């Protein structure tokens, strides 16, 4: 029996102080976005084009014509697709923000504040803006920057299973007994990359250099570099970042291949800030 006051697990209810905090966070972010040259977009709750690596997370059903339709599981995909494909002839604007939830199976509701740049690939701008937004609500955040091509290249060059990077299996990495790899394991500051670059291949040096230069260009109180961090991201394919408060991830962003060339963006997890 379901009580008349019950809500589905994963759904959100905001009231009193939490509702006030949520509205304050959203309104302040909107002010900063507009001051930074962004325009707002609100995409439909329903989509024909939602895809995730874990398809079981998508809430899907059929429309009246029996076409597959789903609740919005990701905002970035629809923002970029609609801007480039549907609105392309009516606007040349490239900087867009959104304040809206996404939905994951079975009943999970995730409120986000995010931004997308079309035809743009300077991840430092995205990370700096994200850090600026978070700085309005917490003094404890840090930007953690990685380059997904670094562990991919190392796995290819050394024969180490990429899964060891994804699983953060430090024991398996140190067992390879490669001096420069052991040095990379301990890197947290961009300057620590410099002496290692002369010990690696040209391709890996190029990827590490991009990580180093990007970390130096980000405007934030604290920037942590994680050269060996690898995760199954939905679409970020090179430089990416997370914003952390303690051990909690409160935002994520990166660069990816968009509908019309390169694009980048980030999403802040609103509920993580409400609890601050």
pLDDT at res. 275? 78
Q: Is residue 1 part of a domain?
A: no
In the block, tokens 């408060």 appear at 245
Is 114 in the same domain as 195? no
Whether 156 maps to a domain, the answer reads: yes
34 and 112 housed in the same domain: yes
The pLDDT profile of the chain, 276 residues, written as one tens digit per residue, is 778 888 999 999 999 999 999 999 999 999 999 999 999 999 999 998 887 767 788 999 999 999 999 999 999 878 888 888 777 767 788 999 999 999 999 999 999 999 999 888 889 999 999 999 999 999 889 999 999 999 999 999 999 999 999 999 999 999 999 999 999 999 999 999 999 999 999 999 999 999 999 999 999 999 999 999 998 777 788 999 999 998 899 999 998 886 667 889 999 999 999 977
Cα 50 off chain centre by: 17
Q: Pick from 90, 156, 108, 130: which is nearest to 219 by CA?
A: 130
* Token code pair at residue 235: 């679409």
Name the nearest CA neighbour of 239 among 220, 251, 226, 250.
226
123 and 250 in a common domain: yes
Whether residue 96 is found in the same domain as residue 215: no
Domain count for the chain:
2
CB 72 within 8 A of CB 102: yes
The answer on 128 and 42 residing in a single domain is yes
d(CA 205, CA 209): 6
- Which residue from 240, 247, 248 is spatially nearest to 274, judged by alpha carbons? 248
User: Is 41 inside any structural domain?
Assistant: yes
- One domain for residues 93 and 215: no
Distance CA 106, CA 120 (A): 35
In this structure, the answer to whether residues 43 and 171 fall within a common structural domain is no
Q: Which residue has the tokens 């990685």?
A: 146
Q: Are residues 135 and 153 in the same domain?
A: no
Are 132 and 253 in the same domain? yes
Does residue 2 lie within any of the structural domains?
Answer: no
Q: Are residues 24 and 79 in the same domain?
A: yes
Same domain, 21 and 127: yes
Query: Helix or strand or coil: residue 118?
Result: strand
199: containing domain: 149-230
């Amino acid at each position: 029996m379901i009580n008349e006051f019950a809500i589905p697990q994963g759904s959100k209810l905001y009231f009193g102080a939490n509702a006030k905090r949520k509205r304050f966070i959203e309104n302040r972010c909107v002010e900063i976005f507009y001051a930074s040259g962004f325009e707002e977009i609100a995409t439909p709750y329903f989509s024909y084009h939602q895809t995730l690596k874990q398809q079981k997370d998508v809430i899907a059903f059929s429309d009246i014509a029996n076409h597959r339709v789903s609740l919005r599981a990701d905002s970035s995909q629809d923002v970029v697709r609609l801007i480039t494909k549907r609105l392309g002839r009516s606007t040349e604007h490239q900087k867009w923000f959104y304040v809206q939830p996404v939905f994951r199976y079975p009943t999970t509701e995730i409120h986000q504040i995010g931004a997308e740049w079309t035809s743009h690939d300077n991840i430092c701008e995205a990370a700096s803006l994200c850090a600026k937004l978070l700085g309005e609500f917490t003094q404890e955040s840090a930007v953690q920057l990685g380059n997904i091509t670094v562990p991919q290249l190392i796995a290819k060059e050394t024969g180490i299973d990429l899964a060891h990077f994804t699983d953060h299996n430090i024991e398996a990495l140190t067992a390879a007994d490669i001096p420069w790899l052991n040095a990379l394991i301990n890197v947290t500051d961009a300057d620590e990359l410099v002496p290692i670059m002369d010990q690696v291949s040209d391709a890996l040096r190029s990827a590490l250099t991009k990580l180093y230069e990007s970390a130096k260009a980000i405007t934030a109180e604290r920037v942590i570099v994680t050269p060996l961090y690898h995760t199954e991201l939905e679409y970020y394919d090179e430089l990416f970042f997370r914003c952390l408060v303690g051990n909690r991830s409160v935002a994520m962003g990166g660069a990816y291949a968009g509908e019309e060339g390169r694009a980048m963006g980030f999403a802040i997890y609103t509920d993580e800030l409400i609890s601050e």
